[in-house]
């Protein structure tokens, strides 16, 4: 997966800060240990001397193996003596070593010439943040969803908006609370201003809080980014992989984007790939299924209708009521 130069630079800086912090803290702990137990420094000098002696012994001919074995035993005795002194003075055995965030790569991001898993995870997290940086995730939560703005009298279809939306709110809460890699997908549709974006943002915030990688964005922005990258008009970031591989993709206002042959194909690819990989997706749209089929083809609409939990938002425009 490719990323922008800015993401690689930010990841490198974060790793540098992690290393620096761990090593600085180790120096502080070392000073505290030596102040309380100065004999540790003498033991470590002796350990260093045995190490140098082992290197010199390599050229000692037939006796080299015997000398190196004796030095190794001596080094182990010194290590044990150091551990004992540390324990007697109330220090853990590893207190002199830097406590790196990733003990596998020591916060370098590389293991044996290959990218460490912690580095790959960091790159994904930064990429998710970059994609979602324009989304107001902190502005919406479940507690601020206003059921009192929905009518309590039946609409033209005989539905009572407040009751319908109360059921949808509870379903969305349960979805967020129980979210996992095995969660299903949701299709939220209805007229504008009925709370689709609000509840999607609330789910996104809750799922992010659980530690999952969430990509949230408007269909217009994300599909536009895909199209620019495809035709070489934007930095070579693999947005397509981010959209298909993230733990949860939330595509807001599907259908509001300018439709081209590319965007139709992109929507189908995203929907189909995530279904095949069983990755949860939330789609929001003002379009009903007939309009969805007209805009994207029955291949898209049939997959959504057959595999997503469909939530039909009803009522009057909340934003008008709030004003």
Which one has a higher pLDDT value, 190 or 133?
Answer: 190
Identify whether the C-beta of residue 2 lies closer than 8 Å to the C-beta of residue 237: yes
Q: 76 to each of 47, 65, 79, 81, 193, how far by Cα in Å? A: 9, 17, 5, 9, 71
Which phi and psi angles does 83 have, rounded to 5°?
A: -60, -40
Give residue 179's pLDDT band: very low, low, confident or very high (50, 70, 90): very high
pLDDT over 60 (residue 210):
yes
Position 77 scores a pLDDT of 83
Position 239 scores a pLDDT of 78
pLDDT over 90 (residue 83):
no
pTM of the model: 0.65
Least confident of 198-202, 218-222, 235-239: 235-239
Position 132 scores a pLDDT of 61
Q: List the domain boundaries for the chain.
A: 5-118, 134-322
- Report, as an integer, the average pLDDT of 49-68: 73
pLDDT tens, residue by residue, 103-159: 999 999 999 989 999 998 888 788 767 656 655 555 678 998 999 989 999 888 888
Position 48 scores a pLDDT of 83
Nearest to 189 by CA among 102, 254, 97: 254
Range 134-322: architecture per CATH:
3-Layer(aba) Sandwich (3.40)
Q: From CA 50, how far away is CA 22, in angstroms rounded?
A: 28
Spell out the long-range contacts of 104-109 with Cβ–Cβ below 8 A and sequence spacing 24 or more: 106/19, 107/15, 107/18, 107/19, 107/22, 108/15, 108/19, 109/11, 109/12, 109/15
Nearest to 95 by CA among 167, 35, 25, 144: 25
Q: Which helix (H) or strand (E) holds 254?
A: strand 248-254
Phi and psi based region of residue 116 (left: phi greater than 0; alpha: psi -120 to 50; beta: remaining): beta
- The three-state secondary structure class of 92 is coil
Position 1 scores a pLDDT of 43
pLDDT tens, residue by residue, 9-22: 899 999 999 999 99
């Amino acid at each position: 997966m490719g990323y922008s130069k800015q993401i690689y630079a930010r990841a490198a800086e974060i790793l540098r800060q992690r290393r620096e912090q761990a090593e600085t803290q180790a120096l502080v702990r070392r000073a505290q240990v030596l102040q309380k137990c100065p004999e540790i420094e003498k033991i470590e000098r002796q350990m260093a001397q045995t190490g140098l002696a082992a290197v010199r012994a390599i050229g000692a001919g037939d006796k080299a193996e015997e000398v190196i074995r004796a030095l190794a035993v001596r080094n182990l005795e010194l290590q044990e003596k150091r551990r004992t002194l540390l324990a007697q003075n109330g220090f853990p055995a590893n207190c002199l070593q830097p406590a790196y965030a990733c003990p596998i790569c020591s916060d370098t991001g590389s293991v044996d010439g290959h990218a460490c898993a912690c580095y790959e995870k960091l790159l994904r997290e930064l990429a998710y943040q970059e994609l979602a940086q324009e989304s107001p995730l902190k502005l919406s939560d479940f507690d601020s969803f206003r059921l009192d703005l929905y009518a309590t009298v039946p609409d033209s279809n005989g539905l009572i908006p407040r009751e319908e939306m109360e059921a949808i709110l509870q379903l969305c809460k349960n979805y967020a609370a129980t979210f996992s890699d095995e969660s299903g997908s949701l299709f939220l549709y209805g007229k504008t201003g009925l709370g689709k974006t609000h509840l999607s943002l609330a789910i996104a915030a809750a799922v992010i809080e659980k530690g999952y990688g969430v990509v949230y964005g408007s269909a217009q922005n994300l599909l536009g980014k895909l199209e620019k990258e495809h035709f070489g008009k934007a930095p070579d970031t693999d947005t397509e992989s981010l959209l298909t591989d993230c733990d949860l993709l939330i595509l807001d206002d599907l259908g509001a984007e300018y439709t081209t042959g590319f965007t139709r194909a992109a929507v189908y690819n995203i929907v189909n790939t995530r279904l095949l990989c069983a990755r949860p997706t939330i789609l929001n749209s003002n379009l009903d299924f007939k309009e969805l089929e007209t805009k994207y083809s029955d291949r898209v609409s049939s997959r959504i209708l057959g595999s997503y939990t469909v939530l039909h938002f009803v009522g009057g425009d909340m934003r008008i009521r709030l004003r």
